Amino acid sequence: MTRIDYVISAKDSLFGNYTISDGQRDAPQNDNYYTMYVPLRTQTLGVQETHVFSPTVVNSTILGWVRPYASSVTQPNGTGPAIPANLIFLPPGNPGQIVIGGGASTVVPSSVTPAPGVNPLRDVREFFSLADDLRFTKGKHQFSAGVWAQRIHENHVGNPQFSAGGVSYPSMLAFLQDIPGQFNVIRNPVALGYRSTEGAWYFQDEMKLRSNLTLRLGLRHEMTDGWNEVTGRCTNYRFDKDFVISTQPVSGPSCLDENHAKLLLQPRVGIAWDPTGRGTWAVRAGFGIHNDLQDILGNRAYSNPPFSAREQPSGPLLSIIPVQKNAPLAPTCGTSGAPPLPACGFYAPA
């Protein structure tokens, strides 16, 4: 961690700080032969310049940068027997997931401790922000106004589930007979980069109505340009007029059908009252509208086909594996011209 304070002149001062934090989380799994390894790194940089125009007018400008990084892999930790290469679902890579008497993934309780293997994934997010606040006093009024803008980069490489393949069996008998309930695999995870720009402005008036009564009125306007993929590869499923989900996703620059976050007006009202006038206790009340600008949608849209598609081939597991990387996706079941099962493919909406 580094911090710098510098007084430029009687009216200007500068403050800056930089922090970097590294971490490593090794999480044992229910299957003791597997461990989840998660290296982490977070960096932050902030610079603030304050300028005093007069005893009643002060302005502050802030520049910020934040970059959290994390990667994750769940793989054998070397304490158990080696997995034969011919049982790797998606070579070359880690052993995949096997669930007996449970759901499709290892996060659902099962009758037998599942093997939770996945291939490496990496997520990087960056936030670039700029803010400016002006505060000035005139008579009984204390005014404040400001603007804020933030650019978001979110990059995904890999997938947290089924990147090494995953098979589920309804019972031990089905496992011994190789009759899986479901097999999922993401054979070609594509690196995707999501982008969003958020902004806001506000104005506030804090009025000293009486010596023991203060009223605060304000308005904040927030906005965003939506959630977009940097090369136009955002895919999502749509519903038709009868609310039937499509079998093929729509692909384009934006992940949203319509951006409803262009004009988010948020009023603010607050009051502070000192009943006795002696400062021993006070009554405070406030009202405001607050919106949550969603900026972590990548993990929901990432696994939609045709990029990083989650496939569900049918049939005995030993007839499916090994699954080949970079092979073209089978036509979606139920679409025009698609072959019958098991030659066609199912792709799960995220």
Sequential DSSP letters for 98-141: EEESS-SSTTS--SEEEEE-EEEEEEEEEEEEEEEEEEEEETTE
pLDDT of residue 70: 93
Query: Lowest-confidence range among 47-51, 209-213, 325-329?
Result: 325-329
Distance CA 133, CA 73 (A): 43
> Whose CA is closest to 184, among 157, 164, 156, 160?
164
Average of per-residue pLDDT values in the chain: 87
pLDDT, average across residues 296-325 = 78
How much of the chain exceeds pLDDT 70, in percent?
92
Phi, then psi, of 304 in degrees rounded to 5? -80, 140
pLDDT, average across residues 246-254 = 82
Contact 169, 175 (CB under 8 A): yes
Query: Lowest-confidence range among 124-128, 214-218, 269-273, 332-336?
Result: 332-336
Distance CA 342, CA 345 (A): 7
Q: 196 or 342: whose pLDDT is higher? A: 196
